[in-house]
Structure 1
């Protein structure tokens, strides 16, 4: 953006929000020109991140129409209040509207400042969700019956038209804002193939919500699934889980096996022994004294704990983390696991501590796999693109990491990892959709990931799902910050 008053657009934050399926929100009281420009720039980056740039002009128009109408609705409230009109009384409403447009426009700066003093805001929200993208324009006033009727009438009129030219023939009463502009907006949505229910007008107490829901391209989804499946097929040459670890797993599941037998089998593998002792002695497990033997480790961690630790050790051995990007990803997952384990410990989830630790450690399995096979995969994917006529945006989608979760799930299933790990990878950003028995575990891992992203400045407090904050007794940002600081300090203390 070129002018000196421009607001910088953080592309990394937008990309992070798209990847995590969390909302982006822009708040304004007066909707100045620089904010309008900023909204347009954010929409462009957002649509680019979800590979929907072809609808950019349509969405920009729709949001401009809805934000302008929201601003006028807020202005109307302060104007009516100052002039003594009752917006809820039909006669008083009609009287107030006689001079509203002329008088408010002639002194618009004053009325906009009054809106700000009254705390009347406009909020633009955009969010990528599985299967759709959502745009909302909210303003914190309740729509009165007369306003709702007029907008509903415009929606009915828009059904009768196929083109904007036809709409221009409609007689528009210019005392209200939601007239021709709203009809054109609905026609634009129709033009990009959306049904009438793509636009919703929701009225709540002290809130008006205009929502546009756009399903993602089904053809693109078909290609994404095809490409993801093919990537997993390309990983076939990747080694299976280490035979020794699978042998130990079978022994753990044998009701006749003793602790001593299991410990002896683990001890036979020097690398496995070293890795397990390192994990058991990490600060996350809070042992009062250093564990120096596998026998002791098995007793301390218990069979379930050892079993879950073996999955993480096995994954590390298979993936053979070497380059800097992979090391950075593993460092992030170790910290996430530490956070998740300690959050669970604070909340008394003693029975699933080790399970939570390992699920958090492997929740980004898809990213790590993708980074490890990326160089060889590039050439193969280009061949696949030509062979199966896959559109470039779909290729970009996978390369941008939007399908990391799907890849992680596919590989976890291929390796026969436990259902808890598979469901954590799949539902980490949407724990409510997970099978009921894993919701609590996944919510803890998901909250730990959101905490890390918040700590690293990649997301803002408002983007953390309210249900996760509620589940972890966080009522305000200061509480979250204090918890992050506490766990951060504890994590670095172990280094």
Structure 2
């Protein structure tokens, strides 16, 4: 068994694709957080990070069920109740529910001192994720019958409340965990037969399989075609932007030439000034006019801002505006620039800044491709300014990172930018040439995600934390707080 507290060894195993085997008698929030972090890293590597919250919920339910089964055996033994007697079983379950279910901490000491355990194995085989949870309390026929009944009922329904009304079972609690598991699997496009509970002598095994292809090929092909058609219909950069980029890259160009061409497009000039202020290039100084902006930020930064500004304008003109996504990108871009400065990566500052501004391009396309889908999900979350694409990604089985890479190719973005957009959730999948850029984008994005309570420090790849000397959690928090404060102060200028 692997040491559950040794995050470095566990991360190395994930990186190498080796199985991870853990064992415990009881779980607290710290153990659950470690399990969450393992899932986050495995799913990121598989480009399925959008499944994280659903899979976390399922895994917790499976673990709690295994622990509850162990606790039940301990409770019956402690109270001299014969678990194999139908009469005594019913009586014992009534008492177990009153004394333990809902007050699970009351049996923690007994579980920790007992010989009952829970083993969990994570394994990735041919792009398929296998999770197995075993506990050494053999399942009874009556328990297995009840579980299979719940599974079959859950398969028949898509509505949680309807399923709940049909299968509520007071003998051992409502049994909603299994219902929730099946319904979540169906929403992710995972067939219910990928979840199994099987007796193996004195062992009970619960297994969950997550295939790399979530939806039938014919469905994903249609969705990809629709997205590709959408991308094909997006205009390329106008000639004015192309000319400005050439001027930025020409050492013979003068600032006056560039400013003159920028002034032809007042909206573009306004965007350049706005992004120049948000970049934090000139802290505590408010840039008010286009010439000051060009002089202050320099040609390389101007080129990055031109690309980002035009990409945003094309998407916002074609679709509705997604201010909160762009605000997130501004924050990430600011963080990338400051991370690069903090670690003396001055040669790639402009590259990481541009990647930060554009890393979530795919979210806009994904949210805009099927307006009916967006409206439906907006109703679900009761928030018309959608910032998350988790439900959309689950519904189509394609990540926004992949979609972002497609549009990046369409616009002939440089290779480093395509790589950063494609792998900003999975830095270990990046090639060596652009790995440093991708790592900075990944760290900046996850810092912003922590602020939105999407991620945790424990979800971060240990190799990235070590690379930036942030493995110590207090040091990490101090660094994050410094970036946050600097960004907020920049916004106030």
Instruction: Settle same-fold status: TM greater than 0.5.
Output: yes
3-state SS, counterpart of residue 285 of structure 1: coil
Report the CA distance between 1:428 and its aligned residue. 0.8
Write the mapping of 1:167-178 to structure 2, written as runs, cut at 5 A.
none
What CA distance in whole angstroms lies between the structure 1 residues aligned with 2:444 and 2:125? Answer: 20
Deviations 1:352-373 (A, max 9, x none): 2222111011101010222244
Following TM superposition, by how much is the alpha carbon of 1:268 offset from its aligned partner in structure 2, in angstroms?
Answer: 2.5
Structure 1 residue 424 displacement after superposition: 1.0
Paired position in structure 1 for 2:483: 487
**Alignment correspondent of 1:91:** none
1:308 Cα offset (Å): 1.3
Q: Distance in 2 between matches of 1:323 and 1:219?
A: 27
Do the aligned partners of 2:249 and 2:299 also contact (CA within 8 Å) in 1? no
Q: Where do residues 399-478 of structure 1 align in structure 2 (5 Å cutoff)? A: 399=395, 402-478=398-474
The 1:280/1:64 distance shift into structure 2, 3 A limit, reads: closer
Q: Of 251, 260, 266, which aligns to 1:264?
A: 260
Q: Deviations over 1:223-281 (max 9, x none)?
A: 53552243121343333223311221233345654444333322322222222122223
C-alpha separation in 2, matches of 1:217 and 1:406: 14
Q: From the CA coordinates, give the structure whose radius of gyration is larger.
A: 1
1:293, distance to aligned residue in structure 2 (A): 5.1
Instruction: Describe the shift of the 1:348–1:325 C-alpha distance in structure 2 as closer, same or farther (beyond 3 A).
Output: same
Q: Give the Cα–Cα distance (whole angstroms) in 2 for the partners of residues 127 and 332 of structure 1.
A: 34
Alignment correspondent of 1:113: 109
Offset, 1:288:
6.6
Give TM-score, length-normalised by structure 1.
0.55
Deviations 1:24-82 (A, max 9, x none): x99964369xx99xx9xxx9xx99x759x9xx99x99997999899x89xx9xxxxxxx
Q: Equivalent of 1:30, from 17, 26, 29? A: 26
- Aligned counterpart, 1:220: 216
Give 1:304 shift. Answer: 2.1
1:340 aligns with 2:333: no
Gaps of 5+ in 2: 1-20, 75-104, 136-191, 196-205, 376-390
Match of 2:248 in 1: 252
Following superposition, the deviation at residue 466 of structure 1 comes to 0.9
Quick one: which of 299, 302, 311 aligns to 1:303?
299
SS in 2 for 1:135: strand
Q: Please list, as runs of the form range in 1=range in 2, the aligned pairs for 1:319-398 lying within 5 A after superposition.
A: 319-320=315-316, 326-375=322-371, 397=393
The normalised TM-score by structure 2 is 0.56
Q: 1:309 to 1:225 in 2, by over 3 A?
A: farther
Report the Cα distance in structure 2 between the residues aligned to 1:325 and 1:121, rounded to whole angstroms: 52
Q: Number of matched residues?
A: 340
CA distance in 2, matches of 1:361, 1:264: 25
Contact 2:263 2:269 in 1 (8 A): yes
User: Which residue of 2 is the match for residue 274 of structure 1?
Assistant: 270
Q: Aligned Cα RMSD in Å?
A: 5.0
